[in-house]
């Protein structure tokens, strides 16, 4: 009986990968960030990784309620998400973060926080052009902005500062979701994280 338990325990350990990392997917609204993150999460979980997807809308509802969309509030929101992601990653979780994070200084602050704590941080730019995003318009934001019902839409009437040197750049309009997730998975594999 003891040998059976020992075999089960060792098998469980082999299939449970505990190297954490934060993978931040930045890009315009409707670029495909969340869809790619969920596809990647499924692959990683199937391989035995502990994974959390920190969805920007959920974070705003539960962690950053009350924050608006000014530059200062967006910076605060990104730093809060970065703090949670680093905490998860430091504890062996792959934290997948499909959040716009429009400003370079905010993303740099999150990267610096990870570096200070010795936690792996990878930045993935989902570089889908605004013309493609506005057609996808998953949440109807572009239509609302065009109708004058919404202002401050990132990439339209509010700035989006593209990453200059991301760890990976994905042009999702030229790939399937599976191919995009595969590109991120390959990056994780190259870094010894998958």
* pLDDT tens profile 59-71: 988 888 889 889 9
* pLDDT tens profile 27-44: 999 999 999 999 999 999
Alpha-carbon radius of gyration of the chain: 18
The predicted pLDDT at position 189 comes to 96
Tally of CB atoms within 10 A around 55: 18
**Residue in 42, 52, 47, 46 with CA at minimum distance from that of residue 20:** 52
15: left (phi over 0), alpha (psi -120 to 50) or beta: alpha
In the chain, which residues have pLDDT < 50?
A: 1-15
Look up residue 18 and give its two tokens: 């505990």
């Amino acid at each position: 009986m003891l040998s059976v338990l020992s075999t089960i325990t060792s098998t469980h350990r082999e299939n449970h990968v505990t190297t954490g990392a934060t993978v931040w997917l930045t890009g315009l609204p409707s670029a495909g960030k969340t869809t790619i993150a969920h596809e990647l999460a499924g692959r990683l979980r199937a391989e035995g990784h502990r994974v959390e997807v920190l969805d920007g809308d959920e974070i705003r509802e539960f962690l950053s309620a009350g924050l608006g969309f000014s530059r200062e509030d967006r910076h605060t929101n990104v730093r809060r998400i970065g703090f949670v992601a680093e905490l998860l990653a430091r504890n062996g979780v792959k934290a997948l973060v499909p959040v716009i994070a429009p400003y370079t200084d905010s993303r740099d602050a999150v990267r610096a926080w990870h570096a200070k704590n010795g936690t792996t941080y990878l930045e993935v730019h989902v570089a889908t052009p605004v013309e493609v995003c506005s057609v996808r318009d998953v949440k109807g934001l572009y239509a609302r902005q065009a109708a004058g019902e919404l202002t401050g839409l990132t990439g339209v009437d509010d700035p989006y500062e593209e990453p200059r040197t991301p760890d990976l750049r994905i042009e999702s309009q030229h790939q399937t979701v599976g191919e995009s997730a595969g590109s991120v998975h390959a990056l994780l594999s190259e870094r010894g994280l998958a």
